[in-house]
Structure 1
Amino acid sequence: MTPFAELCALQRRLSQPQVRDLAWTLSAPPLLVADDTRHPLVASDWAAHPERLADWLRQQDAAPAELTAWLAQGSDRRLGRQYERLWQFALDRAPGVRLLAANLPLREGERTLGELDLLVADDEGIHHLELAVKFYLGEGVPAAPRWLGPGGEDQLARKLAHLRERQLPLSSTPLARADLAARDIAPPRAAFWMGGYLFQPLDAALPWPAGALPSAQPPLWCERSRLPDGPWEVLPKGHWLAPAVASTPCLPLPEGEPIWPQLLVRRDDRGDETARLFLVPPGWPLQPAAKAAS
């Protein structure tokens, strides 16, 4: 779990969208918890005094220029990259934590063998942390559910296997140990943190993945013919992290069937998000052959 669960309500009271995303990144529960998950700030001074993190977030909201400039660097606007940069911004300023490296490449000659997302030092030691933010839709039968990304190809089980078999062991390879020793960094312990949302099918709930932390009213997915009464609006991808508020620039729901999954939100009279739902095309998830023919 996150050490900042009580700060979740703060997200809606912040005026700047980048700061709301920062607050969500730091305080939202992960997709799942396991022996190899670790909140990057769990040993920070903020974890011991969450009110200090709340004060810092309000300060960022009042003066967001530094965060805005940090997120604007580079040309990569993918949501996963923005999520990583939000963590980097906070860890570089968190009391009781030292951000030793971020996106550290491991090279053998001219060949890049991999990259360590974060190297962090705190009172509990040195940590290699891998980050991800994912949106998975439950599909299939209760005896064998699959959790798929909106495109139908990314799978939670496959992502976890890649993390545990490829990414986390990187920091314990001889190449990494030699690189870290040259930087005077002790061998780290490896863990990951995955934020995001799990979407249940509208008609019949599926068993949650092992370690999942489902909410009382989980987000859903369905085809257009099953869409519950709205009003629903389309949430642009750049705003998928924090819950929508009155100032979030949502788009009207187009007529007809979507050709690609769309993330929808329903908002109350104040403009606060009360539900989110993925609207998928008929027959989702399409098989690769069907995609190629379309």
Structure 2
Amino acid sequence: MNYALDALWWRLTDPNVRDLASILTAPPLWHSGCELGVRELLGEAGFRCLLALDSNPEPLQQHLAQEAPFGHRLGLYAESLLAFWLNTAPHAQLYARNLSVRDDNGQTLGALDFVAGLNGRLYHIELTCKYYGDAEARPSEMVGLNRSDRLTDKAAKLQQQLAWSAAPQGQTALQAADIKPENITRVSVVRGIGFAAAAATWQAQPLNRYGWHGLYINHTQPWPRSDGLDARYYPLPPLHLLAPARVPPVYALTSDALDEVAYGQVARLELRPDGCWHETARIMRAKAV
């Protein structure tokens, strides 16, 4: 699936609002078995709220400015975006964020990303945004640019994080925050992109065959380039990965610029009537081993 072609990206223009929209609406990269549905997360008025926020993004920008700097840590930025939504969406209430779980000696064992209400139902929400590649789309071989960052390890860790709210120590933490632990539902929000060779299939569990997919190339392969004049490219900085790229002409580079990009993610762009260049495909090139 190429989520970058969703009609939503023709409407939203503010970069932070686009990133928030991706957190709310993108398909999960893999199945955790307890995904929080887009309908529940977005709410009935969600699209109207996003369009209104796009017209007046100052509240979101102020929130992010208060929590910055994020450095190159995409996870912190994504958590800040979701926290804003859970604090401001009409169907949501944020009760706790990064709620620490400790043992009897006060040592931290873990944390609950979010405890929030959605349409009156209480949730423990774990958020993760990951970008993994393997030419054959084999879950056991899918890694990030840091090859020690593995999909199978993260998927297992996510299950451990979700379990904290059911553990005695987690229930004690919830009670201390005046939250009734017996009423909580444990859910995940898994976002990101899976990268594979063009001929790969996306059948292996736990991968989502309908997830957001891109093209994976190893460090010895050249960047794929368009022969025509209708394409440009944008090397994506670490905090610009969440949503499909929308860049003004000055940042839309010709294919020659790819010679300077050793590894990372690059968005392939096409010009649209708004005068900006929009992502139509995502490419990940691995680091040299």
Tell me the TM-score normalized by structure 2. Answer: 0.81
Query: Contact 2:132–2:143 (CA<8 Å) still a contact in 1?
Result: yes
Q: Which residue is 1:75 aligned to?
A: 69
Matched, 1:265 2:267: yes
Taking the aligned partners of 2:164 and 2:100, their CA distance within structure 1 comes to 10
What letter corresponds to residue 90 of structure 1 in structure 2? W
Pick from 255, 261, 268 the counterpart of residue 259 of structure 2: 255
Same amino acid, percent of matched pairs: 30
CA distance in 2, matches of 1:180, 1:141: 39
**CA distance 1:264–1:90, change in 2 (3 Å):** same
| Aligned counterparts of 1:23 and 1:147: Cα–Cα separation in 2 | 26
User: CA RMSD for the aligned pairs?
Assistant: 2.8
Once the two structures are TM-superposed, the CA of residue 212 in structure 1 deviates from its matched residue by: 3.1
CA drift of 1:123 comes to 4.6
Question: More relative contact order in 1 or in 2 (CA 8 Å, sep 6+)?
Answer: 2
- State the partner residue of 1:276: 282
1:126 paired with 2:127, answer no
The 5 Å alignment of 1:131-150 reads 131-139=127-135, 145-150=140-145
Preserved CA contact (<8 Å) 1:235 1:264: yes
- Contact 1:104–1:116 under 8 Å retained in 2: yes
Task: Give me the whole-angstrom Cα distance separating, in 2, the residues matched to 1:64 and 1:243.
Answer: 18
Matched, 1:195 2:191: yes
CA spacing shift, 1:35–1:217, aligned 2, 3 Å = closer
1:217 Cα deviation after fit? 8.7
| Structure 1 residue ranges without an equivalent (≥5) | 287-294
C-alpha contact (below 8 Å) 1:236/1:250 kept by paired residues: no
Alpha-carbon shift at residue 226 of structure 1 (Å):
4.0
The aligned counterpart of 1:54 is 47
CA deviation vs aligned residue, 1:14-50 (integer Å, no higher than 9, x gap) = 22111111111111111123422223x6436x53x3x
- For 1:97-246, list aligned pairs within 5 A: 97-108=92-103, 109-123=105-119, 125-139=121-135, 145-164=140-159, 166-187=160-181, 188-202=184-198, 204-214=199-209, 218-223=213-218, 225-230=221-226, 231-246=232-247
CA deviation after TM superposition for structure 1 residue 117, in Å: 0.2
Select between 261-270 and 207-216 the one with higher mean Cα deviation. Answer: 207-216
For residue 211 of structure 1, report the CA deviation from its aligned partner.
Answer: 4.3
> For the structure 1 residues 216 and 158, does the alpha-carbon distance in structure 2 shift closer, same or farther, using more than 3 Å as the test?
closer
Secondary structure of 1:14's counterpart equals: coil
TM-score (norm 1): 0.80
Residues 44-64 of structure 1: CA deviation (Å, up to 9, x unaligned): 6x53x3xx3222112211221
C-alpha contact 2:137 2:202 (8 A) present in aligned 1: no
| 1:21 aligned residue | 19
Q: Is the 8 A contact 1:234 1:250 kept in 2?
A: no
CA distance in 2, matches of 1:162, 1:264: 28
